[in-house]
Structure 1
């Protein structure tokens, strides 16, 4: 996953330079924001001189999905306030996807923190390198922002393997996304997560057997 961050970070850094921003924007954003998909949006908003309120609102809408991640992210395995604080800050989609698998259930909090730290370094380092080398990328090259979509596609395919033939969950996720896109296109991500979570809770309540009375 860390190696997968390299072409993504290079694409992000090159996009920063192509947007007319100074190269150091890439490293600063990667180190302090570390928002993945939001950082791609942030570059366009900064280049367009968007008001801070609009940037804050967009950050909230895009990253609110992390609230749902914390419901099952193994933060309780991490020791100390500093470890828990960094684990919360560095909770990315990729870190969550890796720790949600069956094999990761035995991982210690220390291992998860090192995993998050190295992915953070991969992202910040490759983004800075991409910005410094961005001038070498011709302006005719397009589609750099699609690198993020490609990474999420790979994560989705890996998640399907852990379902062991159960296609009801991804089918319901797809249905939630389509419904949110049609009903709330301006708040599609938040609406999709809300619908998906509500559906999972409903399925859990209806399928869980009540304990028999002695």
Structure 2
């Protein structure tokens, strides 16, 4: 494997710091919802959708229909449709060597933000390898954290109230750090438009709907200013 791949793998450590605690809590949540430990890990292996996985296990445990579960999880992740077209030109455009599916499988919010802020610092010939390392590192940390939570987490944190209370803070803190990284690359107007729209939408929509509304507002503002 190339040096660029390992550089991407190293860059994923900042994402892993946020992913592992949340993934551990997902493993625990899945066990409490009645999933077996192997099934909890399988959800992370196949779905790999962060907050959507918490919704998924809750719906399944509550007796939700297959159509309902799939529909809600799909809507929560609809924002990812915007990520690919925004990231593809930064990976080399027409000179890309890997198929789109290989580049898309690990494209999460955090991977997208990290890639957008760092890809321009990589030589164009190294960008795909670097990005694959970034994806793999983030994915491995999420699946590994889920396995730790599902198989061992109850013994680790059942007596630690402080740790349980801080788990929910880790991922928002990671998002804030990533926002600081991409701020120099995005105009203040786009960020304000997205933030205000998402905040207002949150008053009447669930969180995933507010995220989509914020993204649309940011895109529309950017197009208007182009």
> Does structure 2 retain, via aligned residues, the 8 Å contact 1:184–1:191?
no
3-state SS of the aligned residue for 1:71?
helix
Query: Paired residue for 1:173?
Result: 194
Shift in alpha-carbon separation, 1:62–1:27, aligned structure 2, 3 A? same
Query: Paired residue for 1:104?
Result: 119
Shift in alpha-carbon separation, 1:115–1:162, aligned structure 2, 3 A? closer
Aligned-partner Cα distance in 2 for 1:100–1:63: 19
Q: CA deviation at 1:140?
A: 8.7
Shift in alpha-carbon separation, 1:140–1:146, aligned structure 2, 3 A? closer
Query: Paired residue for 1:80?
Result: 98
Is 2:60 the counterpart of 1:46? yes
Q: TM-score, normalised by structure 2?
A: 0.76
> Does structure 2 retain, via aligned residues, the 8 Å contact 1:37–1:148?
no
> Does structure 2 retain, via aligned residues, the 8 Å contact 1:13–1:128?
yes
RMSD in angstroms over aligned alpha carbons? 2.8
Query: Paired residue for 2:49?
Result: 35
Aligned-partner Cα distance in 1 for 2:18–2:45: 17
> Does structure 1 retain, via aligned residues, the 8 Å contact 2:193–2:217?
no
Aligned-partner Cα distance in 2 for 1:59–1:142: 30
Runs of 4+ residues deviating >6 angstroms: none
Q: CA deviation at 1:147?
A: 3.9
Alignment of 1:168-207 (within 5 A): 168-182=189-203, 184-185=205-206, 187-204=209-226
Query: Paired residue for 2:3?
Result: none
**Is the helix fraction higher in 1 or 2?**
2
Query: Paired residue for 1:11?
Result: 25
Aligned-partner Cα distance in 2 for 1:202–1:143: 45
Query: Paired residue for 1:211?
Result: none
Q: TM-score, normalised by structure 1?
A: 0.80
Is 2:39 the counterpart of 1:25? yes
Q: 1:95 aligns with which of 111, 126, 139?
A: 111
Q: 1:115 aligns with which of 134, 137, 162?
A: 134
**Runs of at least 5 residues in structure 2 that lack an aligned partner in the other structure:** 1-14
1:144-188 Cα deviation digits (max 9, x unpaired): 597466324322333234434964333222211123224545833
Query: Paired residue for 1:132?
Result: 151
